[in-house]
Structure 1
């Protein structure tokens, strides 16, 4: 039977982390090793992790010093990679990046790994992030689940992990990994029937404006095409004109250029992302021209090259 290891960077989650531990301990298919990386918590998170490690021989706790501030994107990746060093000597088949504010069913990992075993080309997968509303789990609005897996719960097949070279230590790591995998022929997707409850509101630590700025910067890091970003901001404005999210998203993307922020420099990666996004824009333009032609049959449709929309990945989100 294939083995998996889990890395959990966690910071100041004493209120919620015990439920994550309880979910892991109850798994019908437990990991070979679970590394909990306490990323400088100032509450009781470190103590909770140590207690779990004492009670279960397959759990290890690692403590990092408090850096004194949050470091979105890069901070969690530094902690994650430090945890990865502690499983380097193990013969694992799947690597899991799991947040410390989640709860899930006892057969969650057993069923997740079944998806990988049934599909040899599945490189990255994970459950559907949900929130409990009026006593029931409701899926959060997200990018295309046929491509995107939320960073809170990602499972990497070892061969895919090695081909993409691990995770970058920058905002946008959880989009770059999937695009890298797709570029190399791996499939990536969410398992919608496997619900994972997130116990706190996403984006709340930085505020809504800063969260959208961070998303825009992440799109810059992932080499999103400027025209695609313009269309993305415009679509966001049409959906929520008074929220300021479109402006924040655009500013985050533009700030990457102004600050000369590091990003993926692989030319093949940039070409792959741009081709996907420009094909998607052409596909959407073709759809609108056909709709217009149906509404106004005397007007000739726009001349555009249609992309393969059914094959679009997260580059279109």
Structure 2
């Protein structure tokens, strides 16, 4: 399998060397790595460029806002990197963050899972973060969710879902659309990647309403929005996020923002989410 990895990077001089070192030591070598230096003001570009001797790497530069607005900044950078390759030349397309440390067999295990079934559309391990000197699974809502830092797509799946949307919620929409089209989303519990910066650590405070906006764009509806907001706030131990998320939904509704999924896709997403909630409450079996 031919694998292309695209790494959006903004001021990652502290971590990107560790990420590229771990990719250079893989037992299954990738065909192409593109680092997108997105408006960095540090040595990210120079560090990444120094790996041209060791890796099939291309480093490109683009310019966007210095603020880390969830979804739009990173995906715009990813899409710029994507434009540098011909997708038809690859079997697997990966979007990885620039602050990850991969085990040496990570790509090999990834490829083996893709080869197990032609219906496998997405595969990943789990992100871990350091807490009190040990590495623990990064908090997430569902064990079948792939973190935005760690995405890998079969080319056909990636094309069918229409690529990645430059909007908060992109890393949920991609999985839901993959399932909608009949693809399997596979997570590997014992395949761990060290995530050096917790998810959302650099988000600007102005982004607090965007999660609710994402719920609206995915056609969650009021009750599912409230339940999901409460769950996320509880997991983050920040109850104040509930009214922020709900207000974000209200603002999006008031502005009549465009949805990112069709009505049929939205119905599928709601059904999937409600099934998961009922299953956890013991009200229905989860297949």
| TM-score, normalised by the number of residues in structure 2 | 0.90
1:123 alignment partner in structure 2: 121
CA offsets 1:278-310 (integer angstroms, 9 cap, x no match): 44566677x4xxxxxxxxxxxxxxxxxx6x541
Displacement, 1:80? 0.6
Displacement, 1:13? 0.8
Q: What is the root-mean-square deviation of aligned Cα atoms in Å?
A: 2.4
8 Å contact from structure 2 (residues 7, 35) kept in 1:
yes
2:139 alignment partner in structure 1: 141
1:218 alignment partner in structure 2: 214
The 3-state SS of whatever aligns with 1:87 is coil
| Structure 2 residue runs without a partner (length 5+) | none
Q: Which of 51, 57, 60 is equivalent to 2:58?
A: 60
Superposed counterparts of 1:1-317, under 5 Å: 2-53=1-52, 55-56=53-54, 58-88=56-86, 91-146=89-144, 148-206=145-203, 213-235=209-231, 243-280=239-276, 287=282, 308-311=284-287
Displacement, 1:74? 0.9
8 Å contact from structure 2 (residues 6, 35) kept in 1:
yes
8 Å contact from structure 1 (residues 39, 64) kept in 2:
yes
Whole-angstrom CA distance in 2 between matches of 1:46 and 1:263: 36
CA offsets 1:242-281 (integer angstroms, 9 cap, x no match): 6312222222222221333332141221221233344456
The 3-state SS of whatever aligns with 2:84 is helix
| Structure 1 residue runs without a partner (length 5+) | 288-305, 312-317
Distance change (3 Å), C-alpha of 1:169 and 1:236: closer
CA offsets 1:93-135 (integer angstroms, 9 cap, x no match): 1110000011111111111111111233221111101012343
User: Of the two structures, which has the highest relative contact order with CA contacts closer than 8 Å and spacing of 6 or more?
Assistant: 2
Distance change (3 Å), C-alpha of 1:16 and 1:238: closer
Q: How many residues align?
A: 287
